[in-house]
Amino acid sequence: MVKRGSVLSKFQNFDAYAKTLDDFRIKTYYGAALTIISTLIILVLLWSEFNEYRSTEIKPELVVDTSRKEKLTININITFPRVPCYLLSVDVMDIAGESQNDLTHDVYKTRIDSMGNKILIEKATEIGNKTKEPKNIVSETAPSTNETYCGSCYGGDPPESGCCNTCEEVQESYIRKGWSLNNPNDIEQCVKEGWSKKASEQAKEGCNVAGSVMVNKVAGNFHLAPGKSYQQNNFHVHDIQPFLSDGTNHDFTHIIHHLSFGPMVEGVANPLDGVSQAVSSGLHMYTYFVKVVSTQFHFLNETSIYTNQYSVTQFGRDLTGKDNHDGHSHNQGGLPGVFFNYEISPMLIINREESKSLTHFLTGVCAIVGGIFTVAGILDGFIYNAEKTFKKKVELGKHL
Ligand SMILES: *[C@@H]1O[C@H](CO)[C@@H](O)[C@H](O)[C@H]1NC(C)=O
């Protein structure tokens, strides 16, 4: 009994919170007020601390991108109010020069009338150099199905079959020779297909190009340019004659509704969305230099999104060479149209969603409770002492 008591009393020496006797405690009205106020403050602060604990945050991390053999999806939606669809071709080329036939692509051209309303959808088949003229021009009068028919190429370089059975084939054979088909009315195949009539009907139209293109994840270029495009001696050539000389003033004024690389994620801004650019002359080349940065999102619910962000600079160039200071023509070549040169950044941004730690929350709680009570205690002591001094002075005054 005695022994236990002495052990206990030794242990009691560790008490950092020695109590004062209740008899010596004085309760004051301002002490009560301070207690209530500090309790309210504590509750408010605890509530906000708890809310912060429950929220998550996205932590970005920058590493070198070591992934390989990836594909890049380009999503595009762009409108040209003054270039009809049949004059517009969409081409993708990358620096690897890799065959583009394995592209999975889904790009649609929509004809827009002069009032800006949609007319009909056609699939853009120019991509990957599979040159097929937009369907709405050719399809109504199907190429001659007569097996024995072999159209003349009118001096052009004939295709492998040796015959030019459609207006388009005549055009291609001309381009292979380096000529341009200036007068389709002289070509039997074109007259049969009603080419000129269609062309003049659609001359005042515009075109919307929308869809997704899958490309190799290497630097490359996709462009929307006039005329039929094809590969000639390793050069990418467009026949722009119809664009320049069909009697209508076309130009590459454009509105980019949307341009993104990969899936959409909330919080990733696409700087070109909604950008429009007015161009006054048909001979104008507009180039966007796009740097694509791979971005990953890893969310707490174990889902991940692999997408890309980009930054862009833009540059417009007049191809007529009129704006030279020294009067010489410095026409360095170039093609009217809208070009997107994209480069892949070697850096990868990993955004991880993280929750707040419980220990951090508990530390915060202790800091709030302890801190507020300490400050209130100091205030209380201050008021108590001030009151005591004041009372003493009053009493001294009475005695005098
Ligand atoms: C392209 O953008 C226009 C304007 O925002 C929109 O009306 C149209 O539906 C879009 N096309 C596609 C295929 O998303």
According to the model, what pLDDT value does residue 163 have? 82
Model confidence band, residue 136 (pLDDT cutoffs 50, 70, 90): very low
Q: CA-CA distances (angstroms) from residue 229 to 23, 175, 188, 233, 281? A: 100, 9, 23, 13, 21
Domain range list for the chain: 71-278
According to the model, what pLDDT value does residue 49 have? 94
Give the three-state DSSP class for 249: coil
Instruction: Please tell me the pTM assigned to this model.
Output: 0.68
User: Distance between CA 242 and CA 181 in Å, rounded?
Assistant: 8
Percentage of residues of the chain with pLDDT beyond 70: 80
Highest-scoring range by mean pLDDT, 24-33, 231-240, 346-355: 346-355
Average pLDDT over residues 93-109: 62
User: Is residue 187 within 6 Å of ligand 1 at its C-beta?
Assistant: no
User: Is residue 210 within 6 Å of ligand 1 at its C-beta?
Assistant: yes
Structure tokens at 188: 């039997």
Q: Give 257 Cα–ligand 1 centroid separation in angstroms.
A: 7
Per-chain mean pLDDT for the chain:
79
User: Distance between CA 346 and CA 273 in Å, rounded?
Assistant: 24
User: Is residue 112 within 6 Å of ligand 1 at its C-beta?
Assistant: no
Q: Give 11 Cα–ligand 1 centroid separation in angstroms.
A: 79
User: Is residue 110 within 6 Å of ligand 1 at its C-beta?
Assistant: no
> What is the chain's alpha carbon radius of gyration, rounded to the nearest angstrom?
38
According to the model, what pLDDT value does residue 230 have? 65
- Residues present in the chain in total: 400
Structure tokens at 280: 């006054």
Task: Work out which ligand 1 atom sits closest to the CA atom of 108.
Answer: 13
Q: Write b or e for each residue in 48-59: b if 16 or more Cβ atoms lie within 10 A of its Cβ, otherwise e.
A: ebeeebeeeeee
Q: Give 78 Cα–ligand 1 centroid separation in angstroms.
A: 8
Q: Give 36 Cα–ligand 1 centroid separation in angstroms.
A: 60
**pLDDT digits 0-9 by tens, 366-381:** 999 999 999 999 999 9
Sign of the Cα pseudo-torsion (181, 185, 191, 195, in order): positive
Residue nearest to atom 6 of ligand 1 (CA): 257
Which of 208, 254, 276, when mutated, tests ligand 1's pocket best, judged by the most ligand atoms within 8 Å of its CB?
208
Give the three-state DSSP class for 18: coil
Question: What is the secondary structure of 105-132 as a DSSP string?
Answer: EEEEEEEE-TTS-EEEEEE---GGG---
> Is the CB of residue 332 less than 8 Å from the CB of residue 338?
no
Phi/psi at 157 (nearest 5 deg)?
Answer: -80, 110
**pLDDT digits 0-9 by tens, 183-242:** 777 777 777 777 777 777 777 888 888 888 888 888 888 888 887 766 666 666 676 776
Model confidence band, residue 325 (pLDDT cutoffs 50, 70, 90): very low
Confidence check: pLDDT of 1 > 80: no
Identity of the amino acid at 176: R
According to the model, what pLDDT value does residue 44 have? 96
Q: Give 169 Cα–ligand 1 centroid separation in angstroms.
A: 33
Structure tokens at 359: 């220990």
Measured CA angle at 248 (ends 246, 254), to 5 deg: 115
Average pLDDT over residues 153-178: 77
First to last CA, the chain: 61
User: Distance between CA 226 and CA 243 in Å, rounded?
Assistant: 6
Structure tokens at 389: 């001094």
User: Is residue 192 within 6 Å of ligand 1 at its C-beta?
Assistant: no
User: Is residue 257 within 6 Å of ligand 1 at its C-beta?
Assistant: yes
